[in-house]
């Protein structure tokens, strides 16, 4: 029986009326209620999903359900894929707390979405899974690493970022290549089997560094779609997981930017430096303050590549879309200020990027791509 006490009510500035979870005082729900947990993502979902007819939201790396439940509360059809068994159990528990109507809008999948279909070997720090730990009760916030091994025909065994080290917990889950997963959802969501501008199909992905291979696998599928129908992307990028030594960072940048080049608009997704409060808005239990989303536009995909090659951040949020008119609520836009990269970085990665990765280092720094 759904609880009437465990309700997450986002700030009044957001479109969601709220939803129920198993423990609203736990993270991330307490932060979400206060409007400080990834507020830019929820405002962007409002802009992409509301006032749309039968929108679809694909949440890859769904965690315990914050984005999935939020999108479902906006009447979107939601597909939530999560590969961490502990988080998946909590995702199901949180979904069950809600009304029949909201539950029916979410399909949840214990699945690792990657570049191949088979069985994925997953790992995360084992200390996060002690029965007495906060992570065990509220969901693991530790990086879950896909694959040391993916078992499928012809797939090689390859180490992945941060997958090694002492005291890790291991398990296996089914794995599906991103284009196959998206095609299954298109075939079974009433979308007519293909991307369509008339039915928004928004994809969010947070899979701890595996996004590069997953996106590369989906390149042909996205490229084949009509330009204006290509699905808007909300991506947590992880360039900092890949060292410069050995060309790991360059390979990550090249594979992700090949797909990002299919989109006209690329944004660094962040929030304003201070909250905005509306004293005239009153609603018991809901905050009247929020941190507005800020979309800082990159000049071109080459600017994105230069940023990822030089950043010291482990991760950042990126939004890719065909046109800003696909945003149906006002957002704050600005431009990314790009520093001039050091010559040494260019020299170090020239060969890796130019040979076999479809990006020419001479165009990475300062020369825009032709409009696609």
Query: Locate tokens 């808005």: which residue?
Result: 281
Tokens representing 36? 């400080």
Phi, psi of 56 (to 5 degrees): -120, 135
pLDDT of amino acid 1: 39
Report the relative pairing of strands 316-321 and 233-237 from DSSP bridges.
antiparallel
The Cα–Cα gap between 301 and 265 comes to 9
- pLDDT in the model for residue 150: 41
Cα(285)–Cα(302) distance, rounded to whole angstroms?
A: 45
**Separation CA 343–CA 365 (nearest Å):** 10
* Tokens encoding 181: 């997963």
pLDDT at 131: 42
pTM over 0.75: yes
SS3 257: helix
- Crossing angle (nearest 10°) for helices 343-354 and 248-260: 70
d(CA 200, CA 138): 31
Record the tokens describing residue 148, joined without a space. Answer: 């040391």
Whole-number Cα distances in Å, 295 to 100, 157, 372: 35, 38, 21
Query: Any idea what the Cα angle at residue 121 is, between residues 116 and 126, rounded to 5°?
Result: 145
Q: Residue 188: its pLDDT value, please?
A: 85
Listing DSSP states for 156-221 in one string gives PP---TT--SSSEEEEEEEEEEHHHHHHHHHHHTTSTTS-BTTB-EEEEE--TTTHHHHHHHTHHH
pLDDT of residue 190: 72
CB 330 within 8 Å of CB 51: no
> What pLDDT score does 143 carry?
58
pLDDT score recorded for residue 288: 85
Residue 134, H or E segment: helix 134-138
Q: Which residue ranges of the chain lie beneath pLDDT 50?
A: 1-4, 128-136, 147-160, 163, 340-372
The residue among 234, 239, 348, 370 whose CA lies nearest residue 302 is 370
């Amino acid at each position: 029986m759904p609880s009437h006490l465990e309700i997450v009510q986002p700030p009044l500035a957001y479109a969601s009326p709220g939803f129920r979870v198993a423990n609203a005082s736990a993270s991330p729900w307490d932060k979400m209620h206060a409007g400080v947990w990834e507020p830019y993502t929820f405002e962007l979902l409002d802009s992409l999903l509301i006032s749309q007819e039968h929108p679809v939201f694909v949440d890859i790396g769904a965690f315990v359900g914050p984005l999935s439940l939020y999108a479902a509360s906006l009447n979107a059809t939601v597909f939530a894929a999560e590969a961490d068994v502990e988080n998946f159990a909590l995702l199901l528990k949180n979904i069950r707390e809600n009304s029949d109507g909201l539950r029916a809008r979410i399909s949840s999948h214990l699945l690792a979405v990657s570049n191949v279909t088979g069985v994925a070997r997953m790992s995360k720090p084992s200390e996060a899974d002690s029965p007495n730990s906060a992570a065990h009760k509220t969901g693991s916030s530790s990086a879950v690493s896909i694959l040391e091994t993916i078992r499928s025909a012809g797939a090689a065994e390859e180490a992945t970022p941060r997958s090694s080290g002492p005291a890790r917990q291991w398990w296996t889950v089914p794995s599906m290549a991103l284009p196959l997963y998206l095609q299954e959802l298109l075939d079974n969501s009433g979308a007519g089997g293909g991307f369509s501008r008339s039915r928004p199909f928004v994809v969010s992905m947070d899979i701890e560094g595996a996004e590069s291979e997953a996106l590369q696998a989906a390149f042909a599928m996205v490229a084949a779609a009509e330009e204006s129908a290509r699905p808007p992307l909300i991506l947590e990028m992880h360039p900092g997981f890949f060292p410069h030594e050995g060309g790991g960072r360059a390979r990550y940048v090249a594979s992700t930017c090949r797909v990002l080049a299919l989109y006209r608009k690329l944004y660094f997704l962040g929030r304003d430096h201070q909250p905005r409060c509306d004293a005239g808005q009153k609603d018991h239990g809901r905050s009247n303050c929020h941190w507005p989303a800020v979309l800082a536009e990159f000049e071109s995909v080459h600017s994105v590549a230069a940023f990822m090659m030089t950043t010291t951040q482990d991760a950042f949020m990126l939004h890719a879309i065909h046109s800003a008119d696909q945003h149906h609520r006002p957002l704050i836009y600005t431009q990314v200020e790009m520093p001039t990269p050091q010559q040494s970085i260019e020299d170090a990665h020239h060969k890796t990027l130019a040979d076999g990765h479809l990006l020419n280092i001479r165009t990475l720094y300062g020369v825009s791509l032709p409009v696609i």
